[in-house]
């Protein structure tokens, strides 16, 4: 097969589990992924939730790098709107210096939490004081690429200078994100487990190919569950849902109805809509899944997939990646 398989893990906290146990499961997941030959493992950023333990991907990346030896480790992603681009660049240059040629920096636009955590992350800065996301990403690009000695004393450099710079990925779910990634020299990852529209996925990946002129990679991230039989896979995903909250022209997707109601309350919204949506999970036997991945690969010239298994049971997630690796 002429495509790579990589993984996204969100450190889900299962019923009766502590956050420490969920993070230990992520470490086990990473070590298993390395043994099975997966190319990358990314961890996510979510705030003020009892369901996901990964609030600081940079910290978790360091821990995973220290306990693996070959697997690329990165963020899927850092939510740049909350942070100084300079500090983000420093963090990832330090990580890349500790583990040369193993670090990826993935950047996302979403808040990764509800309004109260977003406000807390911004500290004392007014909500409208930050530059827009494209400007922040441009600043981050500058700090990740301008490290020359002749700049010393003239402008701030995001040191230390790693021997191999981190690979850069913009996570997005629209053609606009794809064009932004291409314009700044970033690789692009279409978040297919967030925007499940096949048409938008096609438009986004093709837009990236066109605007990048072959200078970067386009990846697709999908929700995937493999089981030994189609019936087992269908049963495991049958009760999985997201909730889409619409407040004015803002949209957010959360994991539970309680989270959707909390978002509405924290946003102070009086007019809103909450829709339950069944998760779109590519599921079946490993052969079924690889056939569909091959179809996407041929149609969109995508040479790598980032697999996200949106179930809290660690044993189920491990079994799924074992089955997929066995067929790859």
Q: What is the pLDDT of residues 96-132, one digit of tens each?
A: 999 999 999 999 998 888 889 998 998 867 666 678 9
More confident residue, 280 or 235: 235
What are the phi and psi torsion angles at 125 (to 5°)? -75, 135
- Predicted confidence at residue 2, as pLDDT, reads 87
Nearest residue to 211 (alpha-carbon basis) of 179, 184, 187, 188 = 179
How does the average pLDDT of the chain come out, rounded? 93
Q: Is 90 exceeded by the pLDDT of residue 203?
A: yes
Q: Is 90 exceeded by the pLDDT of residue 272?
A: no
Cis status of the peptide bond prior to 160, with omega within 30 of 0: yes
- Predicted confidence at residue 325, as pLDDT, reads 96
Tokens 């999970």 sit on residue? 281
Structure token digits, residue 251:
């949209």
Q: Is 90 exceeded by the pLDDT of residue 267?
A: no
- Predicted confidence at residue 127, as pLDDT, reads 61
* Distinct helix (H) and strand (E) counts, the chain: 11, 13
Q: Assign 246 to helix, strand or coil.
A: strand
pLDDT classification of 1: cutoffs 50, 70, 90: low
Q: pLDDT per residue over 49-91, tens digit each?
A: 999 999 999 999 999 999 999 999 999 999 999 999 999 999 9
Average pLDDT value for residue range 267-272? 83
Q: Which 8-state DSSP code applies to residue 312?
A: S
What is this structure's pTM?
A: 0.91
Average pLDDT value for residue range 218-226? 97
Contact 80, 50 (CB under 8 A): no
| Dihedral sign from CA coordinates of 106, 112, 116, 117 | negative
Greatest distance between any 2 Cα atoms in the chain? 64
Contact 274, 261 (CB under 8 A): yes
Return the number of other C-beta atoms located less than 10 Å from residue 248's C-beta: 9
- Cross-sheet strand order for the sheet of 241-247: 250-254, 241-247, 273-278
Structure token digits, residue 213:
């002129």
Contact 50, 13 (CB under 8 A): yes
Q: Is 80 exceeded by the pLDDT of residue 240?
A: no
In total, the chain counts a number of residues equal to: 328
Q: pLDDT per residue over 285-299, tens digit each?
A: 999 999 999 999 999
- Predicted confidence at residue 81, as pLDDT, reads 93
DSSP 123-134: TTS-TTSSPPHH
Tokens 């407040």 sit on residue? 247
- Predicted confidence at residue 126, as pLDDT, reads 65
Q: Assign 156 to helix, strand or coil.
A: coil
Percent of the chain with pLDDT over 90: 74
pLDDT classification of 260: cutoffs 50, 70, 90: confident
- Predicted confidence at residue 244, as pLDDT, reads 81
Q: pLDDT per residue over 153-194, tens digit each?
A: 899 999 999 999 999 999 999 999 999 999 999 999 999 988
More confident residue, 280 or 298: 298
pLDDT classification of 328: cutoffs 50, 70, 90: low
Q: Is 90 exceeded by the pLDDT of residue 257?
A: no
- Predicted confidence at residue 269, as pLDDT, reads 83
């Amino acid at each position: 097969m002429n495509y790579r398989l990589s993984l996204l893990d969100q450190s889900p906290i299962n019923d009766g589990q502590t956050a420490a146990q969920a993070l230990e499961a992520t470490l086990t997941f990473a070590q298993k992924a390395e043994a099975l030959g997966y190319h990358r493992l990314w961890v996510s950023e979510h705030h003020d939730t009892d369901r996901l333990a990964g609030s600081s991907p940079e910290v978790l990346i360091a821990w995973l790098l220290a306990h693996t030896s070959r697997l690329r480790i990165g963020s899927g992603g850092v939510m740049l709107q909350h942070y100084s681009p300079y500090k983000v660049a420093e963090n990832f240059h330090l990580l890349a210096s500790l583990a040369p040629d193993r670090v990826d920096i993935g950047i996302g636009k979403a808040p990764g939490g509800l309004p109260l955590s977003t406000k807390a992350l911004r500290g004392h800065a007014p909500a409208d004081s930050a530059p827009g996301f494209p400007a922040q990403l441009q600043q981050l690009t500058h700090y990740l690429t301008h490290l020359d000695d002749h700049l010393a004393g003239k402008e701030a450099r995001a040191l230390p200078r790693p021997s191999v710079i981190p690979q850069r990925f913009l996570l997005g779910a629209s053609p606009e994100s794809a064009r932004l990634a291409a314009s700044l020299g970033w690789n692009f990852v279409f978040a297919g487990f967030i925007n499940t529209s096949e048409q938008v996925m096609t438009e986004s990946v093709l837009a990236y190919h066109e605007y990048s002129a072959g200078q970067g990679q386009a990846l697709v991230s999908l929700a995937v569950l493999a089981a030994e039989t189609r019936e087992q896979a269908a049963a495991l995903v049958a009760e999985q849902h997201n909730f889409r909250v619409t407040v004015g022209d803002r949209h957010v997707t959360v994991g539970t109805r309680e989270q959707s109601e909390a978002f509405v309350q924290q946003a102070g919204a009086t007019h809103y809509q909450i829709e339950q949506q069944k998760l779109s999970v590519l599921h079946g036997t490993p052969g079924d899944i690889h056939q569909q991945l091959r179809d996407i690969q041929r149609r969109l010239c995508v040479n790598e997939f980032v697999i996200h298994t949106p179930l809290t049971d660690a044993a189920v997630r491990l079994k799924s990646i074992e089955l997929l690796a066995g067929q790859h």
